[in-house]
Chains A and B, each alone.
Chain A
């Protein structure tokens, strides 16, 4: 209960500070939209020259991309920790975090959240809606709950990978570029994994399971029955990886000695 109230307190504070710089916020949202549009343009242009991509239709690919945007937006909102190492470990901010009464990871997440990114959820829903209408997809009443569950799973998948990587900072405070690299690998999840070779497909499913952010869960709504098993694994993988990453984080916190001065 205390955590929930803390969460809303931080959101209230966040909104207050951001509302002071409204123009900046609008610019940020617009430029996010632009970045999202680039990939859409890519898909649209490419399908001017081909009918299918690894056996998937144009609108199916667009649907996958739309779905991908939703967990990705939630991930960018709440797991904005790519600069954790520099911001918290090197600058010694972690000492302050550890004196706070809530779990250190939760505290970091609250401090670093970026609510503007939530706008991506709307973009994702619009893109999905467009594709679904063109594909004449039908939905059951319970699909909305499955959707929420899958989005939740996908968010945890990318979140846990970044938490685990941020935890490396507890062992070594050397500057690494692993985080930006991971953003680029994450983009592989936007497209059907069957276009990649088996090694990459295996990695995207079991090691850096970014396929569970986009193509696997989306295939359920596209009624691709042979992919259902992966689709329904989404929340399981998400939860499993998240628990694992929190364990790594906790071990790391125990090892944390402070950066000195």
Chain B
């Protein structure tokens, strides 16, 4: 266990060394939040509320979903695919740790770094620029914290799956790009799931994507009330456990049919 904690620490320190790269990231996210801020204000026009969210909640939703993205987002699918393609994965496999576990821990170190140096200052800056409604009670913050932790777990699990697919596809760039689009669209980052037509919502009930962005953002903006919150977190818990199965299965097959390209 201690070696995995050490990996989190090392990745955190590594990111810390390059922290200046992140200031511009905050600006980019703020630009995106700004674009959606104006769009949503125009969409609301004179309307009181759409699908149970009022304009102020919507702006908060946009801001928190982008800033939470900085925490759960990582590129380990790309890293894994590259290590497979370059043959480095062979060396990784003989080392005394679980390769996927190590990747997850590195991603977590990165996430923790971005939580403190990107999301938090970013949220403070954004709340000065745009009229946000931050939750005032501590319960909402606690539920939100639990919820974004699961966002990270589920997003990372999906990344592991797409990353491992490089074992079978060799060039999985297309799959990784498609995954990015699907997550942007169906996680609730761009649009709350409740805005979609009912048939689309019903399909998404059976998919894990809304656990990544929609659930934590709805908890933060108070779009969910008591029972809905626990249901949503149970939904996240369910998916974070369920997704372990395909990962283990794919990994077992992948290790057996591994071909190291070049050397």
Contact = CB atoms under 8 A, between A and B. Distances in A.
Interface string B106-142: 0000000000000000000000000000000000000
B195 A45 contact: yes
Interface stretch (B8-16, B32-40, B85-93): B32-40
B41 to A, nearest CB: 7
A192 to B, nearest CB: 8
B64 to A, nearest CB: 18
Interface residues of A, number: 35
Nearest to A35: B181
B41 A195 contact: yes
A195 B38 contact: yes
A70 to B, nearest CB: 21
B174 A27 contact: yes
A200 B197 CA distance: 32
A150 B20 CA distance: 40
Interface string B148-160: 0000000000000
Interface residues of B, number: 32
A190 to B, nearest CB: 9
Most buried by A among B38, B47, B195: B38
A177 B28 contact: yes
Interface string B15-49: 00000010011011001101100110111110100
B28 A53 contact: no
Nearest to A39: B190
Contacts of B244: none
A47 to B, nearest CB: 9
A50 B28 contact: no
A212 interface: no
Given A24-B171, A177-B25, A195-B38, A46 B195 contact: yes
A31 interface: yes
A31 B195 contact: no
B30 to A, nearest CB: 10
Given A184-B31, A187-B35, A196-B38, A49 B51 contact: yes
Contacts of B47: 50
Interface of B: 21, 24-25, 27-28, 31-32, 34-35, 38-39, 41-45, 47, 50-51, 171, 173-174, 177-178, 181, 184-185, 190-191, 195-197
Given A49-B195, A187-B35, A200-B34, 16 more contacts: A27-B173, A30-B174, A31-B173, A38-B185, A42-B190, A45-B196, A46-B191, A48-B197, A50-B43, A50-B50, A177-B25, A184-B32, A185-B31, A191-B35, A191-B38, A191-B39
